[in-house]
Amino acid sequence: MLMILVLLATSDFSGTWETTYGDMVLEQNGSSVTGWYSYGTMSTIEGTVTGGGKLIFTYDEGDAAGTGWFQLSESGTSFSGQWKADGDRSWSAWEGHRATGEPSTWVLILEAEWQESMRENEYSFGEMLDAWLGRLEGIEIRHRFIHDLDDIEGFCIEAATLPGDVYLIFASHGTTEGISLNSGTVTPQELADALAPMNNLQLIHFSCCEIMAGRTDEVIINSRSNWAEDFAVSGYTVSVDWSGSAVIEFYYLNQILENGLTPTEAAQALNRDIRFSGTTATPYMDAAGFEIQIP
């Protein structure tokens, strides 16, 4: 009995894994394991660890489900195992090893296509942010274009496996109903569901008009209780001037990523130093309606 207890204590599947069927994130509490992996969209897995470091699990990929097992290596850095779909008799191999890489600070810019017709030149706010923030040491920037909810879900799943803190920026048209993409409006609840795997989020900033005048920030914040310390959601309550938002976001993100301020501290500095960022208009710029919310 003592030997079994020792094995259970040292057999911990928690962490991020690179596997035969995509990146996988597992969380182990006692002998129970839950998690997901990036095969297709977000596939789920759950099971129980037995004596000897063997995880017996079931998986669900939406259009397919089945059972399997993983055997953890003595070092705890890899596993080997097998799986089979419900109704099948044959088993297939499923292997994995712990994801490597030093924790870092990641800026993920998810941007919609701004131009609406061939008459408009292409332009990208994300490229400007990438160039500006790219000068900072220790900051990893990933700029991706999004066209529908599937794109957002896929990139959020990938970002959830990044080692370190993630600062997520949505750059798109927006309304009080959500963010506007080529496929239509992505609602606050759809956004919250897409963000669910990302336990490494430090900030969600919406470079989008009117978002903060709706319920997007409220729905996201209320979607979970385990947000990271100093986590915040920020954005604009009105239709903000393009150049004004650029000035605001260069300053705001620089205070966070270069000067080490929390999002709340950076917002306070922003409202003090750039008069038009909040509710005060100037002779040359309408009030931008920048706002920040915390859990």
Q: Which phi and psi angles does 282 have, rounded to 5°?
A: -120, 170
Q: Which phi and psi angles does 237 have, rounded to 5°?
A: -95, -10
First to last CA, the chain: 45
CA 210/CA 177 separation, integer angstroms: 9
The dihedral sign for the CA sequence 107, 150, 192, 19:
negative
What ranges do the domains of the chain cover? 2-98, 104-293
Instruction: Kindly report the number of other CB atoms within 10 A of residue 89's CB atom.
Output: 6
Pick the CATH number of 2-98 from 3.50.50.60, 3.20.20.370, 2.40.128.30, 3.30.70.890: 2.40.128.30
Which residues on adjacent β-strands are paired with residue 16? 25
For the entire predicted model, the pTM comes to 0.81
CA 59/CA 225 separation, integer angstroms: 26
137: Cα separation from own chain's centroid: 22
pLDDT in tens, the chain (295 residues): 333 333 444 578 988 899 999 889 898 999 999 988 888 667 899 999 988 889 999 999 988 999 999 999 988 899 999 999 999 999 999 999 998 766 789 999 999 998 878 888 888 999 999 999 999 988 999 999 999 999 999 899 889 888 889 999 999 999 999 999 989 999 999 999 999 989 899 999 999 999 999 999 999 999 999 999 999 999 999 999 999 999 999 999 999 999 999 999 999 999 999 999 999 999 999 999 999 999 9
- What was the pLDDT predicted at 101? 67
Going by C-alpha positions, the residue among 127, 286, 295 that lies closest to residue 209 is 286
CA 66/CA 71 separation, integer angstroms: 17
Query: Half-sphere exposure of 272 toward its Cβ, with a 13 Å CA cutoff?
Result: 7
Q: Which phi and psi angles does 189 have, rounded to 5°?
A: -70, -35
SS3 of residue 148 by DSSP: coil
- Amino acid letter for position 245: S
Instruction: Kindly report the number of other CB atoms within 10 A of residue 189's CB atom.
Output: 14
Q: Which fold has domain 104-293?
A: Rossmann fold (3.40.50)
- What was the pLDDT predicted at 39? 81
The dihedral sign for the CA sequence 20, 165, 53, 42:
negative
Sheet holding 232-236, edge to edge: 139-145, 104-111, 164-171, 201-207, 232-236, 290-293
Going by C-alpha positions, the residue among 58, 10, 60, 62 that lies closest to residue 31 is 10
CA 263/CA 109 separation, integer angstroms: 17
